[in-house]
Amino acid sequence: MSAFFAAHQGLLEAAVQAARTRGYWSAYPETPSGKIYGETAKADGEAAFKALIGQPFPLDQQATTRVGRETSPYGFDLAISYPSAPVASLVAAAEKAGAAWARAGVEDRVGVALEILARLNRESFLIANMVQHTSGQAFMMAFQAGGPHAQDRGLEAVAYAYDEMAKIPGAVTWTKPAGKVNLVLDKQFRIVPRGVALVIGCATFPTWNSYPGLFASLVTGNPVIVKPHPGAILPLAETVRVARAVLAEAGFPADVVQLAADEADAPITKDLVLHPSVKIIDFTGSPAFGAWVRAHAEGKQVYTEEAGVNSIVIDATDDFRGMTGNIAFSLSLYTGQMCTAPQNIFVPRAGIETPDGHKSFEAVAEGIKISVDRLLGDPERAAAVLGAVQSEATLARVDAAAKGRVIRAAERIALPGYDGARAVTPLILAADAADTADYTVECFGPVAYVIATDSTADSLARAAGTAREKGAITASLYATDPAVIDAAADAFAAAGVALSVNLTGQVFVNQSAAFSDYHVSGANPAGNASLTDTAFVASRFRVATVRRQSAA
């Protein structure tokens, strides 16, 4: 047994168990506390991040040139450069390194993955700074979602993959009764990887969305090329650096994991996708590019998280202020740049019933507006909730959407401590159910529609229909009638959407917890895979058999 596997075996077993029970479980503490991560961890992480700015990133892999033009959404250039090599050279290095990796035992590979995760966890403050200043997430979210939560998702993938590989017996004796004698074969089953794996990251959650595919492909024996979004290279460069260090310590070629950085005006992703040796692709990004990947990856195993149009359906509530407060937070968190953030809020045009009496459609919309205003009234809290906007294109979408009945206008705001940060508050619009051209299109970013419908049945049909046609990852329902809840559960299950019901407290529809929530169902256009189910790992390896006629 490898030392790394031995060191982390207890954690692995707990993770496998958690994946089976899918209640609450987490391996890596989400609290950015000095007591947990070390009293100087916060300052050390920030200092380590600042020391990287303006420098060549210390990643020891083949390079014919260097690339990188990241800017922080908080208003400054990172000016960090990364090694760059031709796609063919990267793939060739992956294949060469992959031969030794394929021969390694399951426990060796899993041990390496668990050690990488452990070291990434210790670096969570550094990673947090890296995620903050590429994605634009506020620090707390960058720490949690970019650090421990991403690590949990990586561990979850390792646990599922390990569990599947452990199910394959290494050797068995097959004894078939055949009259007077037995027919006997000694059989060995060997796990064989698929080939070079490509992980295509996104700019908003560079680690959280990449770790599952990265670690699932890695432990199943495939060498991995990590292709970060050109706007969010740094967190994955650090991830690759750590992975290569652990691989080398364990006696494997560092090129089992490589970074493939590029710049927006000289993209290399398509060349990587099209390379015949690339056999597995994990993609997070836009539906437009996702469609291209799916169309050009025939014969390759492709796992995507693209995007969709998430809905809230309001039928009634027994806590109006809890409801509007919860919705306000969901719309504001990371400025609506989460794939799980709601866009469409369906409300009967006749209004809803609440403990405070009947509320008209307008009153519901106004209630949400007031809650957003209240949440974001304090600049420090607004900065902590909203963070910055990753891309100029998102701001442009907000501007373009601001037409018709504006319930709440988006406002450019300053983020305390950062000059030139790109920050904005949510835009909330009123719409009629008939205005489908506006609201059934995904508008990535802080844009929400409060939509007047004929009835809750109409709301459900529209929300589920949009999910089936355009994709959706989450849905949220407010209702007090069990029959309405059951109808919504049926409608959203059929559309492959995860439904949250009556969230009025400190759990939000945006949140997806590793080891419990299946993130993306794979059953509508928002993505073809789920984090993490067995299907996410089981096709990353194959089994080759050797049968020997027994000497007996």
Instruction: Report the interface residues with a second copy, using CB under 8 A.
Output: 20-24, 102, 164, 167-169, 172-176, 178, 183, 185, 187-190, 192, 194, 294-295, 298-299, 485, 489, 492-494, 496-507, 513, 516-518, 521-523, 528, 530, 533-535, 538-539, 542-549
Matching residue, tokens 């059934």:
440
* Of 55 and 173, CB closest to a second copy: 173
Full DSSP string of 205-245 = STTTTTHHHHHHHHHTT--EEEE--TTS-HHHHHHHHHHHH
Sign of CA dihedral 216, 222, 223, 228: negative
* Of 294 and 462, CB closest to a second copy: 294
* Of 203 and 280, CB closest to a second copy: 280
* Of 333 and 424, CB closest to a second copy: 333
Matching residue, tokens 């949220």:
476
Question: What single DSSP character describes residue 263?
Answer: B
* Of 99 and 434, CB closest to a second copy: 99
Matching residue, tokens 């699932």:
216
SS3 41: helix
- Give φ, ψ of 300 to 5 degrees: -105, 155
Question: What single DSSP character describes residue 425?
Answer: P
Residues pairing with 199 in the sheet: 226, 282
Report d(CA 529, CA 518) in Å as an integer: 10
* Of 86 and 505, CB closest to a second copy: 505
SS3 552: coil
* Of 461 and 523, CB closest to a second copy: 523
Taking residue 171's Cβ as centre, other Cβ atoms within 10 Å add up to 10
Matching residue, tokens 């250039």:
77
Which amino acid appears at position 225 of this protein? I
Q: Report in angstroms how near the CB of residue 21 gets to a second copy at its nearest.
A: 6
Q: How far is CA 447 from the centre of its chain?
A: 21
SS3 304: strand
* Of 64 and 545, CB closest to a second copy: 545
Q: Report in angstroms how near the CB of residue 226 gets to a second copy at its nearest.
A: 24
* Of 236 and 509, CB closest to a second copy: 509
Q: Report in angstroms how near the CB of residue 394 gets to a second copy at its nearest.
A: 28
Q: Report in angstroms how near the CB of residue 517 gets to a second copy at its nearest.
A: 6
The burial class, CB within 10 Å (0-12 / 13-18 / 19+), for 72 is buried
Report d(CA 537, CA 533) in Å as an integer: 7
Which H or E element spans position 158? helix 148-167
Q: Report in angstroms how near the CB of residue 289 gets to a second copy at its nearest.
A: 15
Q: Ramachandran region of residue 305, left (φ > 0), alpha (ψ -120 to 50) or beta?
A: beta
